Chain A
Amino acid sequence: MVQEISTRDAYGQTLVELGRKNPDIVVVDADLAKSTQTYLFGKEFPNRFFDCGIAEQNMITIAAGLASSGKIPFASTFAVFLPGRCFDQVRMSIAQPGLNVKMATTHSGISVGEDGISHQAIEDLALACALPGVTVIVPADGIEAAKAVRAAAETFGPFYLRLGRPKVPVIYTEDYKFEIGKASCLKTGKDVTIIAIGIMVKTALDAAAELQQQGMECTVLNMSTVQPIDEAAIIKAAAETGAIVTVEEHLANGGLGSIVASVLAKNRPVPMEIISMQHYAMSGKPAELMERYGLTAKGISEAVKRVLKRKFSGR
């Protein structure tokens, strides 16, 4: 049986571990501590935990002030509110001065499910990646989430960590070496490369297994650091397989698909398909929504077949 853990749970537990090691770690939240899991840190370190109430702009600017004074603040709320609701604050008070604030948001993407489109963040990556100097990471499972949180704490500068609500299968083992800015290659194949982020990495692996049975060999890259993106890995994948499919639980504009496309256009244009959201979704069970909007192994397999056709027809 595959172990399952949400990336937000991994975040909450790792924060406590970091708090025990480093007294400069502090946490701010905006009345969502029980959802983002920062309440675990608050329970153990009440003096270093600041619940700012339902006031995200104030919360994130407080984090900036704490960072400017030498603290390492983790700021958490839902991904619809940060950076969205606080974009101006993140831009001027964190990104421009390059302050050491770790923005860690949960409930990203449509896998939030029943709460509906007001709570489904599918634009947050575009906003975060619009900010120069902000490192943007989308962990694929609980193990990578924990490692990314530790790496963010140890690396000076602003971070945006995109975490999810649902429990997701664990794909890595504890000996996985996470490195900021480096894609992780989970499978190699000669025909096509699937580049995925977040919970779509497991789905990409499922699609690759399915395609293998049909005689198509896929490389699968987990591009967990979306900014700065691993250009070398993308160019290598394009050179070796000649076709790319990207998969993300986010709108195409400004997300993984557009960033990979710009790397390819500048360096090595190859046929590419983008699996992403096209528009706002609706309420429903997470699995139903993933199915409805094509964020499934079947959706990825179809895109792989489309891109292979283009690869072989030279279009």
Chain B
Amino acid sequence: MTENTNNSASTSAEKSAAGVFYSTGAPGTLSIEEMKVIARKIRREIITMIGGVGSGHPGGSLSAVEILTALYFKVLKYNSADPQWADRDRFILSKGHAAPALYATLAAAGYLPESELCTLRKIDSRLQGHPECGKTPGVEMSAGALGQGLSFGIGVSLAGRLNNQDYRTYVLMGDGECEEGQVWEAAMAAAQFKLDKLIAIVDNNGIQLDGWIKNIMALEPLRQKWESFGWNVIETDGHDVGQVIEALGKARLVTGQPTVIIAHTIKGKGVSFMENNPDFHGKAPNADELKIALKELE
């Protein structure tokens, strides 16, 4: 596939978001405003899914929404009707607990029927509590134990280089996840192997399960850490779709070294009582909270 077969610009974002036709071989042509509508819809799905089953991780799902929207509706090459298309860009969700955000995005992008989202975490569902490769179309790697996605992405990227393929590999990690030693083993290796088609994105929401990262196991200066490991570093507002797209575009121009985008985000973004609240790392909203949250996201 070499170009977008659908004239997305002339259709409504809600229609694209329903996954009716959005499958693309080239960057999508939705406007920023249309993507904002999709992001809002994804947030509503996340809250509805987690609230519906009564468990899951809303905080780190909500913080990743604009990153996922920018990737799936502007940047990634893929064909949701052919998830295994050999030349697709690869997206690896290393922070597996943000699975609801990924599933809602995959549904919006046409990989899954939206009616399936309500099966999250339920018995026999394709939508497991954490992503499972082989079970859900569009899921590239099994995740849930933190710290493995960047290493996996190195393998995927090396395979592309060996095959002379042009695809890029994007790995979304949490900032708390960067406390795992393996992340820095991978950081060293990606720079050593000069993987310029490997792009890491850190969802830098500042909070981990037990509280604020700065109080548990401080990571700052994060930028300098990545730079000293040989990476090109780009910082961006992770809730401004336009800025995220711009950062991802800059990353594509870099040669000879991998790029990490540190996306400054807010845990629980979009739901007032979840924002910057460590309690909602891994807690579902109750019925009342669900109502309030959905009202805020109307």
- A residues neighboring B (CB under 8 Å): 26, 47-48, 50, 52-53, 55, 57-58, 61-71, 73, 88-89, 91-93, 96-98
Contact A65 B133 (CB under 8 A): no
C-alpha gap A169/B189 in the complex (Å): 39
What is B's interface to A at a CB cutoff of 8 Å? 132-134, 140-145, 147-148, 151-160, 162-163, 181-182, 185-186, 188-189, 192-193
A50 closest partner in B (C-beta): B158
> With A and B bound together, what is the CA distance between A96 and B147 in angstroms?
16
B298 to chain A, nearest CB (A): 38
Question: With a CB–CB cut-off of 8 A, which chain A residues contact B160?
Answer: 69
Enumerate chain B residues within 8 angstroms of A66, measured Cβ to Cβ. 155-156, 158-159
Which residues from chain B contact A61 at a C-beta distance below 8 Å?
A: 148, 151-152, 154-155, 182, 186
Known interface pairs A58-B185, A93-B148; A65-B132 also in contact (CB < 8 Å):
no
Question: CB within 8 A of B133: which of A47, A62, A68, A73?
Answer: A68
A89 to B155 CA separation, bound complex (whole angstroms): 14
Interface contact B189-A65, CB-CB below 8 Å: no
Tell me the complex Cα distance, A69–B163, Å: 10
- Complex-state Cα separation, A64 to B133, whole angstroms: 12
- Chain B contacts of A70 at CB under 8 A? 159, 163
Query: Which residue from chain B places its CB closest to the CB of A73 in the assembled complex?
Result: B155
Q: A52, B189: Cβ atoms under 8 Å?
A: yes
Residue from A26, A58, A69 within 8 A of B186 (CB atoms): A58
Write out the residue numbers on chain A whose beta carbons fall within 8 Å of the beta carbon of B156: 65-66, 68-69
Q: Give the chain B neighbours of A89 by CB distance below 8 A.
A: 145, 148, 151, 182
Q: Is the CB of A68 within 8 A of B145?
A: no
**What are 29 A-B pairs with beta-carbon distances under 8 A?**
A26-B162, A53-B185, A53-B188, A55-B182, A55-B185, A55-B188, A57-B148, A57-B182, A58-B151, A61-B151, A61-B152, A61-B154, A61-B155, A63-B155, A64-B141, A65-B153, A65-B159, A66-B159, A68-B133, A68-B155, A69-B156, A71-B159, A89-B151, A89-B182, A92-B143, A93-B148, A96-B142, A97-B132, A98-B134
